[in-house]
Every structure is written in structure tokens, then in C-alpha cells.
Structure 1
Amino acid sequence: MKINSGVGALINARNTAIDKTLQNTSQSPEKITEQDQQIILKNSTPINSEAEALRGKSDNGKLVTLIYTRSGRLDLPKRYEEHRELLERVINSASKLYLHDTPAAADRMAEQYESILASLREEIPQLDHLSWGFSIDTSGKLIATGHLNQTQKEIVEEALNSNEKLVNAAQDFKYHFLEGLQIERGSVGTSQYWGKYDVNEENFADIIDFKEMFEQSWSSAEQIESYGYLINKWEWTANIADQLQARAEPKFAK
């Protein structure tokens, strides 16, 4: 998939807006950067000593900061121009999948989920002892999965879909996630990371369980105070990777 020349500017503007929102919630930019860097490293190819030596030599030992131009293209040093497609693919997919768009949508879902779950526990007292989950179908509707009887399933789905903010955030999650996978595969059509898995509109609900995502990646009170996210990005990344490995086919692996 060739990246549209306007995507860079839109992503850059959106990410800047997200960063400002985070700062307005009194988060520490340094701490956010540290956590995000850990996520990038977890989903990056290790740098071998030869490659690192070449980087140090070509850049005089300094890291190069890449920015977007007004035209929406990365402003690359000439020596990197031949690698433009790869660099844009890596940067844009990392932003959309691992750092900003998708986890931000997950966090917006989390903001609504707690109150919905509390209400459901009143209607279905045995809910915590049942094996169930929920996801989103091809029509954009939230659906209950797992071991619920028909009445329980209807109660859960009605509660989930009655919350417009939750539904919109779930739709955004799916959109950004699927787009991020496509960007990561790029024109070569393969990936070593999440993009290697065959997740699409039709099978998304069979692979991604939002309830499991929340249960496995909820931030502690200290983490919420430090980072401002209800979802712990590191644990969230690990859980999504686990769900993909368990349920999705690595159809696009290198």
C-alpha cells in the first residue's frame, strides 16, 4: 500500500493535538516519551553493530529528527531519500498502531466501560462468574461473545450499544487498527510485526476481544496519575500481540 502524500500532515497534526491534550491533563511529557520509546523498541528490529556503526558514521554520531513539510511529506536528508517508502511506512504505522491513534481509541473506550460494567453487574449479578467478551462486527455494532445465554447476551449488547461514546471509540479503534496494519505491510505486502496477521473487516470480531484488552491492560492508580491513561500502553501492546498470536493467521509474515 503506497502512503498518500497527505497522510503525513494529517497524522502529524492529529498527534500534535493528542500530545497537547495529554499535557493539559498534567502528564509528564518525559514519562510519556519514555514509555512510548519502550513500545517502539518492543516492536522494532534490533540494530546490529554494523548498522549502528554506519549510522554513527553517516550522521556524525547524532540522531536525525524527521519532520513533515507543509505538503505532507517527510523532510528527509538526501541520503535517506531512497528509503522514503520504508521510513514513512514505519513512522506512520507506529503512530497509528502502537503509539497514538489505536491506543488513544482504546483509552476512550475504557472511559466508558467501567460505568457500563457496573450497571451490567446490577442486571446480571452472576456476570463476573461468566466467561464472556465483546467486540465489534462489520456493521459497527458492539456484539457480546462467549458463554452468555440469549437473555444475557441481549442485555449486554443493549447496554454496550446504548453508549454512543463507547461505540464511536470502538469504531475508531477498528478503523485505525486495520489501516495501521495495511500501512505497516506497505507495498511489499509483508511485515514482521502486527501487520503479518490477517485481520480484516470480516474476522475482526473473532480475533480482538475488547473485554480481555481492558482486563489485561488496566493501569494502576499510580500509572493513571503519572501518565493520564486508563490503559497501560505497555500492557495493552502485549495483550493485543497475545490476542493476534492466539487467534489470527500470520498470512503476511516475511
Structure 2
Amino acid sequence: MIINGVNIQAGAALSKGAVSNKPVLQDQSSQSFEDRVSAKNAKIKKSEQQAQQDATGLRALITTYPGGNITADERAASKLRVIDIYVGDLPRVTDSLESKIDVLEDEVATQMPDIARTDWDFSIDENGGIIVKADHLNDADKEKLASIISKSGITEDLTEARDLMVEFIEEDRTKAMYSTSIGKFDLTNENFSEIINFREYVDGASSSPIGHGYALHDQLDARAEVVYNKLTTVDIYV
């Protein structure tokens, strides 16, 4: 028993064969200050460890889409639009581009024969401007080549192709902003000219009936950033 900080222990032997009921006093003040502080800290640490174990048992990891969940109807609508673009709209405009680029190349060969024999390509920016891809050309030659391309009547097809490619990728990732397929790539009107080259695209697309899909993917894989293939994980306690 402890009374006022003194431990009272009964039953200490006084002599052989005799037992006294007189209590024996043990003063807790005999413990050093350091020992008492150490014992108290150990008790606090044990309590904290137990509280952490209890909380860990209630931990939950919730995985969500970066853009949030979407309805089944929204997902179905996106899937249908992806199919429409892949089997209808994009092949149609790709065929038109192929024939117009053939005419364009003949025109370049006529007006700039030295350039025609070199490696050049072109794209379109967010404002519909022609971007010539040819590091070996000087600014004057690039400007002349861009003018030939613009006057060839191909700009409308280039714009439609750009818009369809961007939409195709956006619909694949849906409003959930997630895809493990082609929608994982970051292709926008703003970065389009940095990623897609049209002569390269048409050459690849002509390889098979679905060559346009492979041609688009190859350029994305080579130059586009993979952004939309990551789920969002929320760490919560319930």
C-alpha cells in the first residue's frame, strides 16, 4: 500500500520462527530523479505507440480518377466517338491529305528543286499557321516553303486532322482524365506542331488500312509526354 508516497509492506521477519505484523516502510524518494523521469517517458512512449497502432488499423487508401468518376453513359458516349473518329473521320481526312501532299511535293520540286531532295516536313500550330520542320534550311527558305504549303489548299485538311487527333485522344481518356491507351499522351492544339509531322504521318498511314492509327501512335510515342496514366490515391483514416 502507498500512503503519501511511502510504500508500506507487511510481513517482514523479526527473528527465527516469529512473524511481526509491523509494517516495513520503503520511501520512494530513494529512487533517483533520473530513474523516475525515465520510467515516465517510457510510459508516455508506450501510450503513443499504442495510439499509432490503433490509428493504423483504421487507415484507408482510396484510389480515384484524376478528373473524378464518370457515369456509364458518359463512358459509352466517349467510346462511340473514339470509334467514329478511328474508322470514319480520321481515315477520310488522312486519304485527302495523302493526295494533296503528293501534289504539294511536286510543286515543291518545281519551285525549290534543291529543297525537294532534302529531308523536310511540316505541321500546323493552334492558329492554323504552317510550321516548317527542316533544321538545315535558312529562314528565307523556310518562309518560301511555308508559303507554297499554304497556297496548296491543304490548310483546311490540316486543321481538321489536328482537331480530330486531339479529340480522339481526349475522348479515349474521357472526362476522368485517365487512360492506359493512346489517351495517356498529352496532345493539344498548343503543342501539336511540336509532336505531329504530316509527311511522316501520311507515309506511315499508307502502310495499311489502319495505318493511320499506328502512324499517330508512333509520333506520340516518340515526342509526346505521357501524363494521363496515373490514378489519384487519397490516404484517409476512417
TM exceeds 0.5?
A: yes
**Which of 137, 145, 148 is the aligned partner of 1:159?**
148
Task: Report the count of equivalent residues.
Answer: 159
* Percentage of pairs with the same residue: 25
Partner of 1:145: 133
**Which of 198, 204, 207 is the aligned partner of 2:192?**
204
Please tell me whether residue 106 in structure 1 is matched to residue 94 in structure 2.
yes
Partner of 1:77: none
- Say what the alpha-carbon RMSD is for the aligned residues: 1.8
The alpha carbon displacement at 1:249 in A equals 0.6
Contact 2:108 / 2:115 at 8 angstroms: preserved in 1? Answer: yes
SS at match of 2:123: strand
Contact 1:207 / 1:247 at 8 angstroms: preserved in 2? Answer: yes
Please tell me whether residue 126 in structure 1 is matched to residue 114 in structure 2.
yes
Note the 1:34-183 alignment, pairs <5 A.
83-96=72-85, 98-147=86-135, 148-164=137-153, 166-183=154-171
Partner of 1:249: 225
The alpha carbon displacement at 1:236 in A equals 2.1
Contact 2:97 / 2:202 at 8 angstroms: preserved in 1? Answer: no
Distance (Å, rounded) in 1 between the aligned partners of 2:209 and 2:150: 25
Contact 2:108 / 2:116 at 8 angstroms: preserved in 1? Answer: no
Q: Which has the larger radius of gyration?
A: 2
SS at match of 1:152: helix
Contact 2:105 / 2:116 at 8 angstroms: preserved in 1? Answer: no
The alpha carbon displacement at 1:210 in A equals 0.2
Contact 1:143 / 1:157 at 8 angstroms: preserved in 2? Answer: yes
Contact 1:216 / 1:235 at 8 angstroms: preserved in 2? Answer: yes
Segments of 5+ residues of structure 1 without an aligned counterpart are 1-81, 220-231
**AA of the residue aligned to 1:244:** L
Contact 1:135 / 1:143 at 8 angstroms: preserved in 2? Answer: yes
Contact 1:106 / 1:170 at 8 angstroms: preserved in 2? Answer: no
Segments of 5+ residues of structure 2 without an aligned counterpart are 1-70, 231-238
Distance (Å, rounded) in 2 between the aligned partners of 1:168 and 1:117: 17
Which aligned segments of 4 or more residues in structure 1 are displaced greater than 3 angstroms?
A: none
The alpha carbon displacement at 1:86 in A equals 2.2
The alpha carbon displacement at 1:128 in A equals 4.3
Per-residue displacement from partner, 1:53-110 (whole Å, max 9, x unpaired)?
A: xxxxxxxxxxxxxxxxxxxxxxxxxxxxx732222221211222x2222232222222
SS at match of 2:81: helix
Please tell me whether residue 213 in structure 1 is matched to residue 207 in structure 2.
no
Q: TM-score, normalising length from structure 2?
A: 0.62
SS at match of 1:134: strand
**AA of the residue aligned to 1:130:** T
The structure that is strand-richer by fraction is 2
Partner of 2:29: none
The structure that is helix-richer by fraction is 1
SS at match of 2:174: helix
